[in-house]
């Protein structure tokens, strides 16, 4: 069979894309002279202030190198001794971090069945039965991912209910926001939406993703003061996430948070996923749902899947069901989407 020309960009991951030129320019501008190291510089102070304004809550801001590290710093700052973290069976901290939270923090993760990758208040209530029993690890933190590892999004009401339930048992709530920008863009597209989804709903710590949204090596942990440990700075250093030349990380966030550029790029990625869905939804033997963010999780016949992957690489998601993931990025163009959709149609036409 003959495939059309492959798109210029892959649909495998938003991590496949490069850095946005605006972030490269921001780093270039920051590259002047000597300044205080380890966050004592003016750019880091500026980025911290912008984050505090964004959150509209008393938060500590810790810049980090990667998302796994952010999650470790956030969880380590919320946990007390003998406590566990409750998370979905799909959670990145559970399946995609090589056991780093367990290894570095010495804690137990308790994953719950969640076909849509969401934790619910019922999961928390069920786990709370261990509280006070000296033979059981004590559930101390609930970790949710927004947008989830299956491309679903929690509504503001769902997050509020999780926080209320968790807090009623003395547990704290962590939000893995590797794609919080895409969720924010999907649910309202403004700063008010971000606040309502996070600290406004009662979340205690956010891992705020930058890399998947066009930055490079730039992530941030936002910690509600008075709830998170005041040892978080030490936890970051011990987990090797303290950037010495922090100005380069911070400069990217100054660029992102100025005029909500971070929401603009995520919104574009989301729109490209919807364009792909619109181009393919009519195919009978393709099981595909309308995307909430920048990812699609279609189920397709194995032979079609294999032909397509040989043409243009993308990841399997649930091999047992021949489910894959297609993901768009800040730089995916309408032409890329149309070229990829043409390839999918060609693969199906061979059936």
Q: Give me the residues that bind ligand PLP (CB under 6 A), please.
A: 66-68, 92, 145, 149, 176, 178, 211
| Shortest distance, position 194 Cβ to ligand PLP, whole Å | 17
| Shortest distance, position 149 Cβ to ligand PLP, whole Å | 6
- How does DSSP classify residue 187? H
Residue with Cβ nearer ligand PLP (14 or 204): 14
Asked whether 189 and 153 are in contact (CB, 8 A), the reply is: no
DSSP secondary structure string, 73-85? HHHHHH--TTEEE
Angle at 207 between CA 168 and CA 289, to 5 degrees: 90
What does each C-alpha distance from 350 to 6, 265, 314 come to in angstroms? 17, 36, 20
Asked whether 22 and 261 are in contact (CB, 8 A), the reply is: yes
| 6 contacts: CB under 8 Å, gap ≥ 6 | 311, 312, 339, 343
* Tokens (6 digits) for 186: 């999907």
| Residue of 220, 204, 199 whose CA lies nearest to 85 | 204
Does residue 194 have a cis peptide bond before it, meaning omega lies within 30 degrees of 0? no
β-bridge mates for residue 87, sequence order? 111
Alpha-carbon distance of 295 to 269, in angstroms, equals 9
Angle in degrees, 0-180, between the axes of helices 261-280 and 247-257, rounded to the nearest 10: 70
Residue with Cβ nearer ligand PLP (92 or 268): 92
Residue with Cβ nearer ligand PLP (178 or 293): 178
| Shortest distance, position 211 Cβ to ligand PLP, whole Å | 6
| Shortest distance, position 213 Cβ to ligand PLP, whole Å | 12
Residue with Cβ nearer ligand PLP (211 or 322): 211
| Shortest distance, position 206 Cβ to ligand PLP, whole Å | 12
- 220 in helix, strand or coil? strand
Residue with Cβ nearer ligand PLP (151 or 343): 151
| Shortest distance, position 204 Cβ to ligand PLP, whole Å | 17
Residue 202 Rama label (left phi>0; alpha psi -120 to 50; beta): left
Q: Is 77 exposed, middle or buried (0-12, 13-18, 19+ CB in 10 A)?
A: buried
* Tokens (6 digits) for 250: 């911070």
| Shortest distance, position 71 Cβ to ligand PLP, whole Å | 6
Residue with Cβ nearer ligand PLP (84 or 145): 145
Alpha-carbon distance of 91 to 138, in angstroms, equals 19
Q: By beta-carbon distance, which residue lies closest to ligand PLP?
A: 67
| Shortest distance, position 235 Cβ to ligand PLP, whole Å | 16
Residue with Cβ nearer ligand PLP (71 or 312): 71
Residue with Cβ nearer ligand PLP (187 or 280): 187
| Shortest distance, position 15 Cβ to ligand PLP, whole Å | 6
Alpha-carbon distance of 177 to 172, in angstroms, equals 16
| 263 contacts: CB under 8 Å, gap ≥ 6 | 181, 184, 185, 189, 190, 194
Residue with Cβ nearer ligand PLP (173 or 347): 173
């Amino acid at each position: 069979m003959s495939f059309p020309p492959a798109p210029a960009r892959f649909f495998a991951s938003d991590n496949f894309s490069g850095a946005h030129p605006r972030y490269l320019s921001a780093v270039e501008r920051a590259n002047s002279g000597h300044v205080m190291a380890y966050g004592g510089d003016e750019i880091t102070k500026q980025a911290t202030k912008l984050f505090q304004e964004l959150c509209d809550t008393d938060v500590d801001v810790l810049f980090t190198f990667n998302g796994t590290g952010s999650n470790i710093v956030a969880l380590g700052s919320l946990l007390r001794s003998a406590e566990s973290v409750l998370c979905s069976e799909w959670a990145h901290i559970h399946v995609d971090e090589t056991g780093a939270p367990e290894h570095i923090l010495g804690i137990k993760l308790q994953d719950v069945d969640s076909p849509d990758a969401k934790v619910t208040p019922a999961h928390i209530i069920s786990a709370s039965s261990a509280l006070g029993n000296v033979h059981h690890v004590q559930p101390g933190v609930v970790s949710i991912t927004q947008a989830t590892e299956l491309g679903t999004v929690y509504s503001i009401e769902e997050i509020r209910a999780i926080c209320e339930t968790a807090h009623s048992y003395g547990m704290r709530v962590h939000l893995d926001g590797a794609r919080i920008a895409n969720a924010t863009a999907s649910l309202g597209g403004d700063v008010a939406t971000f606040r309502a989804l996070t600290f406004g709903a009662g979340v205690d710590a956010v891992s705020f993703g930058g890399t998947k949204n066009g930055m490079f090596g730039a992530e941030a942990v936002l910690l509600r003061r008075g709830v998170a440990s005041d040892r978080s700075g030490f936890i970051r250093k011990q987990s090797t996430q303290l950037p010495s030349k922090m100005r380069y990380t911070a400069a990217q966030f100054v660029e992102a948070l100025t005029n909500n550029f971070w929401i603009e790029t995520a919104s574009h990625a989301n729109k490209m996923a919807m364009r792909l869905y619109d181009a393919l939804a009519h195919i009978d033997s393709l099981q595909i749902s309308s995307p909430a963010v920048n990812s699609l999780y279609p189920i397709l016949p194995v032979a079609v899947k294999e032909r397509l992957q040989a043409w243009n690489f993308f990841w399997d998601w649930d091999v047992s069901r021949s489910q894959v993931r297609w993901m768009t990025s800040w730089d995916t163009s309408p032409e890329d989407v149309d070229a990829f959709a043409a390839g999918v149609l060609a693969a199906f036409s061979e059936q």
